[in-house]
Structure 1
Amino acid sequence: MKVTKFLKSAVALAVGGMVATGAAQAADKVTVASLTFVSSSPLFIAYENGYFKDQDIDVEFKFFNAAQPVAVAVTAGDADFGVTAFTGGFFNLAGKGALKVVASQFFEKKGYDGSAILASNDAFAKGFDAPEKFPNHSYAMSQVGSSFHFMLGQVAQKAGFTLKDVSLKPLQKVPNMIAALKTNQVDSMIIVPHIAKPLAGAGAANIIGWVADYAEYQGGALFTSTDNAAEKSDVVQRFVKAYQKGVADYSEAFLKRDAEGKPVYGAKTDETLKIVHKYVYKDRPAEKAYVSIKNGALYFDPQARLDVDSIKSQLKWFQDNKLVDAKVSIDDFVDPRFVPSMN
């Protein structure tokens, strides 16, 4: 009897160990490509708060210094998901059937912090103090067809000048753009607020306008490969659910406004700042980094819904400027199965 009980216990322990091992191996491993910007914060929040683990997903991050390489990484299979701004490169890759947009990222929206238009100290001193004065000045951007290119195009359309009036300087990476502006090698650039405001506050550049005053639109997206969307739709759905929880926490922490439109911060803000600081401005003291993070919190739809009309409009701009193949259609790359559309 004792032997039988011992054997039963041993078998139970062995089976239990197999089940536990199986559960540990069940998590789907995915790699996520992004920039270490405040606009990537919902990913970091979802990771640190265990929302991906709750969905049995094991996440590894890969970080880049510009938007287009993020799309390339997902297309090449070096990453399973990407979060970044729309670019001409993204639309071209997506139009070839490589990528699927599954949720929204940030929005340029009036009443919330957004991308700032900056002038160098030298250019500002010589009278470049408003976006309408862009003609005959130079402009730093990462690449031709980048989101920086698109943003200047939107400002130009509203302010009454053309891109031909501006000397465009593709510098490949955001750090190169910042360095060129600070040393007066270029006259201007457009950049997210968590970079723009500290530059202006330190006297290294001058904010002369805001993109949202010239155009409101969905600036970026969460996307995956077409193969993942087709063959691993369950993983994509679970990833999106975790991401949406990260977006909800981000919105609660940074996007509340009072009756006068001023930011309202609370306990969730303090918790979330600690998380974001692990990834954004992590080399700065917390008190300084927290100010920049709060100042750089762009608007997100709380459910990460897609603004399909806005994406169509952006695609048309890139096509009109001969940066994206005219045959590319939004139906080629927007997958509506995972989040509801705003329109």
Structure 2
Amino acid sequence: MTFANMTRRAWLAGVAGLSLLSATAATAQEKDDVVLGALRFTSHAAGFVAYEKGYFDEENLNVSFEFFQAAQPIAVATASGDVDFGLAGVTGGMMNLAEKDAVRIVGGVLHEKKGVDGMMVMASNQAYENGLDTVPEIKGHSMAMTQVGSTFHYMTSRIADAEGFDISDVRLVPLQKVGAMVAALKSGQVDAMIMVPHIAKPLVESGAAKELGWLYDYAEYQISTLFTSVDNIENNRDMVERFIRAYAKGIAEFNRVMLAENPDPAELDEMTRMIAKYVAPDKPYEEAMASIQMGAMNLNEGLALNMTDVAAQMQWFKDQNLVDSDLAVDQLVDDSFVETY
């Protein structure tokens, strides 16, 4: 073999090696495109934190957000594949989709906990002036909710059960969107509603509504969850696992900063600014800051799921004939991704 042939072979080998390295690098840089369906709620902020902090990037995920105005449409979009993951309460709509093997809950997100402000029970000024000044007195009054079978529907039933009256004693008014609920309460078209603190507290502080009490006095329950399609679980499990790892980091960081008794002012300001971009994109930061910080709620560390409570919720929906009676918990929940209790 001549020196020229050796040199040529070496050059070709080098080119082949460089091509292989380039192909490997390109593969390593490819990311899974993932769409997360959410509400513009502070309780959904762990996903925004995970995005801003680069936790999704670390898991090779290119995440974008699709925002909704109620929980049940998020479940529909997840089932159809319009979004890959959904953040929302456990609703009748989600359960009916689970019964069709379209979606599964894969983690817990928002959980009521005494000592951490959660869902506030509120009255309109007009109703308050006419005597609705305690939670038990919602009996006989109108109550705003998004849809029949929504978390607002379920939460009202928990209060009714605890206070010894039937949910039929409350006139439930489905208004489809959270914004419409707020408008109806402020105008006195409905007497009461239950709402997340980043919306509820500013309403009370501005004099637009009255605080009656807190849901955690009636139910420390698993309000919202993370869910995905059965197709993703069966055919893209690695992506689901990576997403959960990144989201769990977002929860840990959110709880560490936003729920701290004495948070570091610089860290608190930095995180509040992150969240404000998603929760209040049309408001000046100075206007949004207080409501976001007041609205921080207890998020499940590690996305751990209160499966016992989810099962109890499912039974209530069955009892109300809002969900097929044959639905089983293992159709609603895939418990292989996070800790359950």
Scaled by the length of structure 1, the TM-score of the pair is 0.93
Q: What's 2:109 paired with?
A: 105
Aligned to 1:24, which of 11, 22, 29?
29
What does residue 310 of structure 1 align with?
309
Task: Please list, as runs of the form range in 1=range in 2, the aligned pairs for 1:191-202 lying within 5 A after superposition.
Answer: 191-202=195-206
Who is 1:264 aligned against?
262
User: 1:20 Cα shift?
Assistant: 2.9
Q: What CA distance in whole angstroms lies between the structure 1 residues aligned with 2:189 and 2:275?
A: 32
Partner of 1:196, secondary structure, is: helix
**Offset from partner CA, 1:253-290 (integer Å, 9 cap, x none):** 1223xxxxxx3322432221121111012222223322
What secondary structure is seen at the aligned counterpart in 1 of 2:257?
helix
Amino acid paired to 2:28: A
* RMSD between superposed Cα atoms in Å: 1.8
Distance 1:18 1:277 in 2: 39
Contact 1:252 1:269 in 2 (8 A): no
In the TM superposition, what is the alpha-carbon distance from 1:19 to its structure 2 partner?
A: 3.0
1:286 & 1:210 partners in 2: Cα distance?
Answer: 27
Matched residue, 1:333: 332
- Pick from 251, 255, 264 the counterpart of residue 251 of structure 1: 255
SS in 1 for 2:277: coil
Residue 299 (str. 1) matches residue 304 (str. 2): no
Find the counterpart in structure 2 of residue 89 from structure 1.
93
Q: How far is the alpha carbon of 1:125 from its aligned partner?
A: 0.7
**Are the equivalent residues in 2 in contact too, given 1:55–1:242 (CA < 8 A)?**
yes
Out of 32, 41, 44, the position equivalent to 1:40 is 44
Q: Which amino acid aligns with 1:291?
A: A
2:142 is the counterpart of 1:138: yes
Question: CA separation in 2, counterparts of 1:334 and 1:169?
Answer: 30
Shift of 1:81: 0.7
Aligned partner of 2:129 in structure 1 is 125
Q: Is the 8 A contact 1:252 1:268 kept in 2?
A: no
| CA displacement at 1:15 relative to structure 2 | 4.2
Secondary structure at 2:311 match in 1: helix
Number of residue equivalences:
335
Opposite residue 334 of structure 1, the aligned amino acid is V
Alpha-carbon separation, structure 2, partners of 1:334 and 1:188: 32
Q: 1:125 to 1:138 in 2, by over 3 A?
A: same
Find the aligned partners of 2:27 and 2:244 in 1 and give their Cα distance.
24
> Is the 1:138–1:188 Cα contact (8 Å) retained in structure 2?
yes
Q: Which runs of 5+ in 1 are unaligned?
A: 257-262
* Structure 2 length-normalised TM: 0.93
Which residue is 1:259 aligned to?
A: none
1:41-60 alignment runs, 5 A limit? 41-60=45-64
Letter matched to residue 21 of structure 1: A
Question: 1:213-242 CA distances to partner (integer Å, 9 max, x unpaired)?
Answer: 111111111111111111111111111000
Q: Displacement of 1:51 after TM fit? A: 0.7
Shift of 1:337: 1.4
Mapped partners of 1:268, 1:337: distance in 2: 34
Q: Give the SS at the match of 2:101.
A: coil
Q: Equivalent residue of 2:213, what SS?
A: strand
Indicate the structure with greater helix content.
2
* Aligned residues with identical type, % of pairs: 44
| Secondary structure of 2:278 counterpart | coil
Shift of 1:17: 3.4
| Cα separation, 2, equivalents of 1:339 and 1:112 | 23
The CA deviation at 1:113 is 1.2
State how far apart, in whole Å, the 2-side matches of 1:335 and 1:224 are: 10
Q: Which residue of 2 aligns with 1:149?
A: 153
Alignment of 1:126-275 (within 5 A): 126-256=130-260, 263-266=261-264, 267-275=266-274
- Contact 1:38–1:276 (CA<8 Å) still a contact in 2? yes
- The Cα of 1:331 is off from its aligned counterpart by 1.3
Amino acid at match of 1:97: D
2:287 counterpart residue number: 288
Secondary structure, in 3 states, of the residue corresponding to 1:97?
Answer: coil
Kindly provide the amino acid, as one letter, of the partner of residue 31 in structure 1. Answer: V
User: Which residue pairs with 1:260 in the alignment?
Assistant: none
